[in-house]
Structure 1
Amino acid sequence: MPPAAPPASSKAARPRRPETFRAGGIRRSTTTTGDLIAALSAELTDEERDIEIEASIVPSCDRTEDTNIALLCFKPNPPAYLSPLYNGNNDTTKVLTTVGLLSFDKSFLGLPQLYPTPPRREITAETTIYGYNSKIADYTSGLLKNIKRARTKKSLVIASEEKLRDIETYSIYEATRALIFFATPHRGLSTEDILGMVDAEKQNERACLVRSIDKNSEVLQSRLHDFTKFASRFRIFSFYEQKTKTRTRKLGPNGTYGRTGDFIVPVDADSALLGLPRGIETRIVVDEDHTTIVKFNGKHRTYRLTISYFWDLTDGWLLDHAGYNPKYPATSATEALPWAIGSGDLRLVKLLLNNGANLRFPMDGKT
């Protein structure tokens, strides 16, 4: 059986989140969380019927894939069919369900795959996410592979710097137009409280990972130096925090931690900003702390700003693709209008009209 629920933390500590599991092998036709939750609930025993399941399906951007992945949480405890994950050296366990033969694991450090945003959102994007414990360098090849498989002839807006190792990778570099950073510690951050939660002797690898993002990290200095050599070809948007938050401290012998220390700005402006010319880097201060800077809803100012930057960028790419010349806006907009109408792209037609296109354009010698 899975381990018992962890002991309650002290009042000063945040409640512990349920453990997150990853499930693979979900049939691609399973697109709603309700179907997945129903299939998982059907495998519960009578004694487990009070378990609440939270699920998030991550569809693949690769049309050749016939399965999806999901992230799962079980409250208050995981079910018995996941108990093999707690026994010995079992990294995965399989469960046959009505939505496929699912493979479960819990020792993953993120979800290094591209997945699309839901339809009818303001921006259609393909995203990759990873966890705090991730070795970013280890995800390099996987991220590039997924982009190559999912990409056709698209412009990319990403927040990652990569070395150019082959023709395909170079084509991704050429297609990348903009980078958006949210409180990214380019020059490191204070890691004192983070290291305080790591047993350096038993968890040396994790301790080394934390030290690699310290303010004195030679790794970060080298990466930043390499990146700034070609950063000028991108539009860069750097969001940085201004609210303070308390350092994390150990609360007692039971191993719980809480934010009861000094007030700090984990990633200050000197680290979050690249210091590039304003024509390249747009700097945006956010009235949030390091935890909440990207935890926003559709009404959040940072979200609205990010969407507006996306629209401005994609408007420019559309006009450029249509042959619009900003030096001669009205003339080039009028010349591009027939092509835009023929393509059926209403957004591009509207952009050209807003930039001075004349509806009385010549067609087949007539006006």
Structure 2
Amino acid sequence: MPDECFRVRQIPLNYTLDSLIQLFLVKFPNERGITIDRKRSSLFQCCYDPRIQTAIIHFSPRPPPPLDALRFGTTYNLDISSQYLDILIDKNFYGLTQLYTPSKNIELDVIAISGLNGHAYGSWAGEANSDGRKKMWLRHFFERDRPECRTMIYGYNSRLGEPGIHTLSDYSRGLLEEIDKTRKGCEDRPVALIGHSFGGIIIADGIVRDKENRRGNLFKMTKAIVFFATPHRGLLFDDIVEMVGEGSPRLDLVHTIERGQDAEHLLSFSSYAEEEHFGVVSFQETMETRKAEKNSVTGKWARTGEYYTVVERKSSILNLPSHLEDVQSAEGDHSSLVKFDNQSNHAYTTLCERLRVLLNYIEQASGKDLAKMNTKLRLAISKNEHQLVSVLLTLGRADLNAEDIEGGAVSTNDIRMLKLLSRHGAKIDIGNTHPGYATLVQYDDPMQVLRKRPEEEIDLNHSKRRGMEHKASENTSGISRREILAWLSTLGPEDDHERIYGKRHGNTGQWFLRSTEVREWLGKLEVSLLWCYGNPGVGKSVLTSALLESIQTDYEHDKAIGIAYFYFNFQITVRPQDVLSIWIKQLCRRMDELPNSLCALYEA
């Protein structure tokens, strides 16, 4: 393999690159003329153990035969009689490997995970130059452009030709374990994760697993995630299925990737990303990829087939709010879009800019007086508006009182900082808060509740309360108003909505609310129809109830927005005029005064 590199581990601290070169000359005495390419090789501290070193080395003009013949997944042991440990040499790069020695104080851990059947190092390397040498941007470009980052790559055995029975859970658990091992003593250091294709799926699964298994460190400290052509909702893999073949132990894994993430799992990750405000950048492939096909003569598989799009655009994005997910295009097909040849590559400069912004934020936060982060927070809920607002949510601000808050000195957007400060030990003084706050703080995940109106029952189910408000408005607006509304219709779609919405499990339907179709429909100013179709029983009504609940919550206090709905039921016969009547009734409920034309019609 041209320009093949090797990883050398367990190198004693007293070794330099020169002494390592001399060691190889001694250990491979019959291979004169073969030496380590000093310009392309490097030696640095091991990311697992500071008492030893790791090296990435390139040989010139070729590797020694014993290393050239080294199979993936195997290790060559180089005995050093004067040392207790053997030096280990491999070319699979399994586990985490640091790529260079940061020249500045480390402020951020960057971890990159390659895709299925990829190589932890080679998958990120560009095309060879005229001299046969390749540039690996995470190593060669980042060392200069991101000297404050400890940049690591993660390798795992997903080679399709191996008889492995690994599952997605195996890979994500392995990633979490290895990250934990390399972050002993620096658990509070922020993390940025970069995933290509299936590597992005492993990241998403790892984040959910870390959160739900209450490990928490990776989940809490992840500040940015970069996805390159990640098939969140599946991809076209028919050529790979054929290449793997029936009966292969890898077939289940291939089908898992082909289907995409489980809807509930993807929803959980998206919810956690919103909760922790991960900065997500989703890169999409811009060129088609040739399909793999088998050569009838040699029997080998190669990408010589027809062109196709591996990961469609709708599968490569999460549909998060625009302030959380930045959707970008990367020049290249499914494989080459992460092989940057130079530092002017658009995707590379975009990625560096996102990391620069993140590092500036980290630097500003660390420059504050940390004692201020532990000062008491006073959170108040205006008794008039029943709205939770926060105090001292920008680092370094002086403590404010309830009068400052109610006067508008603090924006309710500051609520998003609550968890960050709480993680740093900020104490909360609830002596000056609305009584509902005492109930609120008992929730494991108060962030969703913070965005709602705290009532006596803080359960995120507003349908019942909304129906009570409708009844209250009828009973307090005068007998004529109540009689007119009752005359309009006796149907009760509010009860139907409460019943159907109550059937859904937590967070069901969020993928639907975040879909491009729904978001575009909600954003249109002109009259438009969103037509959702499906067989009976597939869940159309439940999805509709989730959308309706979201709309009613967003526009609950905006009387300029009319909201009307009806759930059809094959067991009940209704006429078109019945539906129109209930819609008029629902629209009138949001009005302070009934239209004169309606009153005249009632009296006629």
For the superposition of Structure 1 and Structure 2, which TM-score range results when normalised by the shorter chain?
A: 0.5 to 0.7
Q: Which moved more, 1:190-199 or 1:163-172?
A: 163-172
Matched position secondary structure for 2:27: coil
Which residue in the other structure is 1:231 paired with? 273
Please show how residues 71-86 of structure 1 align to structure 2 within 5 Å. 78-80=64-66
The count of corresponding residues between Structure 1 and Structure 2 is 302
CA 1:28–1:195: 2 relative to 1, 3 Å: farther
Which residue in the other structure is 1:61 paired with? 47
Does the aligned pair in 1 maintain the 2:193–2:224 contact within 8 Å?
yes
Deviation per residue, 1:282-305 (Å, 9 max, x gap): 111122222221211222221111
TM-score (norm 2): 0.44
Q: Which amino acid aligns with 2:153?
A: T
Deviation per residue, 1:269-322 (Å, 9 max, x gap): 112111111011011112222222121122222111111111112222333444
Q: 2:12 aligns with which of 21, 27, 32?
A: 27
Please say which structure displays the higher CA radius of gyration. Answer: 2
Q: 2:95 aligns with which of 112, 120, 125?
A: 112
Does the aligned pair in 1 maintain the 2:45–2:52 contact within 8 Å?
no
How far 1:17 sits from its partner (Å)?
5.5
Q: Give the number of the structure whose residues are more often strand, by fraction.
A: 1
CA 1:43–1:169: 2 relative to 1, 3 Å: same
Q: Which amino acid aligns with 1:171?
A: N
How far 1:221 sits from its partner (Å)?
3.9
Q: Distance in 1 between matches of 2:99 and 2:9?
A: 17
Does the aligned pair in 2 maintain the 1:239–1:284 contact within 8 Å?
yes
Does the aligned pair in 2 maintain the 1:24–1:69 contact within 8 Å?
yes
Q: Which has the higher contact order (CA 8 A, sep 6+)?
A: 1
Q: Give the number of the structure whose residues are more often helix, by fraction.
A: 2
Matched position secondary structure for 1:213: helix
Q: 1:125 aligns with which of 146, 149, 159?
A: 149
Q: Distance in 1 between matches of 2:191 and 2:82?
A: 33
How far 1:334 sits from its partner (Å)?
11
Matched position secondary structure for 2:265: helix
Q: Distance in 2 between matches of 1:255 and 1:74?
A: 32
Does the aligned pair in 2 maintain the 1:39–1:97 contact within 8 Å?
no
Q: 1:302 aligns with which of 334, 344, 347?
A: 347
Deviation per residue, 1:191-240 (Å, 9 max, x gap): 22223332443xx22222222210x24x5545323211211121111111
Alignment of 1:154 with 2:189, yes or no, is yes
Which residue in the other structure is 1:178 paired with? 224
Q: Distance in 2 between matches of 1:335 and 1:137?
A: 40
Which residue in the other structure is 1:243 paired with? 287
Does the aligned pair in 2 maintain the 1:244–1:264 contact within 8 Å?
yes
**Runs of 5+ consecutive residues of structure 1 not aligned to the other structure:** 1-15, 325-331, 337-367
Q: Distance in 1 between matches of 2:395 and 2:48?
A: 36
Does the aligned pair in 2 maintain the 1:81–1:95 contact within 8 Å?
no
How far 1:74 sits from its partner (Å)?
8.5
CA 1:73–1:206: 2 relative to 1, 3 Å: farther
How far 1:93 sits from its partner (Å)?
4.3
CA 1:22–1:230: 2 relative to 1, 3 Å: same
Q: 1:169 aligns with which of 215, 218, 221?
A: 215
Does the aligned pair in 2 maintain the 1:178–1:234 contact within 8 Å?
yes
Q: Which amino acid aligns with 1:122?
A: D
Q: Which amino acid aligns with 1:227?
A: F
Q: Which amino acid aligns with 1:133?
A: S
Does the aligned pair in 2 maintain the 1:59–1:116 contact within 8 Å?
no
CA 1:53–1:222: 2 relative to 1, 3 Å: farther
Matched position secondary structure for 2:307: strand
Q: 1:317 aligns with which of 359, 362, 366?
A: 362
Share of identical aligned residues, percent?
Answer: 22
Q: State the Cα RMSD in Å.
A: 3.7
Q: Which amino acid aligns with 2:155?
A: Y
Which residue in the other structure is 1:11 paired with? none
Alignment of 1:206 with 2:250, yes or no, is yes
Alignment of 1:142 with 2:177, yes or no, is yes
Does the aligned pair in 1 maintain the 2:6–2:89 contact within 8 Å?
yes
Q: Which amino acid aligns with 2:79?
A: L
Does the aligned pair in 2 maintain the 1:182–1:238 contact within 8 Å?
yes
Q: Which amino acid aligns with 2:352?
A: I
CA 1:104–1:118: 2 relative to 1, 3 Å: closer
Alignment of 1:191 with 2:174, yes or no, is no
Q: Which amino acid aligns with 1:184?
A: T
Matched position secondary structure for 1:227: helix
Q: Distance in 2 between matches of 1:196 and 1:188?
A: 17
Which residue in the other structure is 1:327 paired with? none
CA 1:22–1:293: 2 relative to 1, 3 Å: same
Which residue in the other structure is 2:488 paired with? none
Q: Distance in 2 between matches of 1:333 and 1:227?
A: 28
Which residue in the other structure is 2:79 paired with? 96
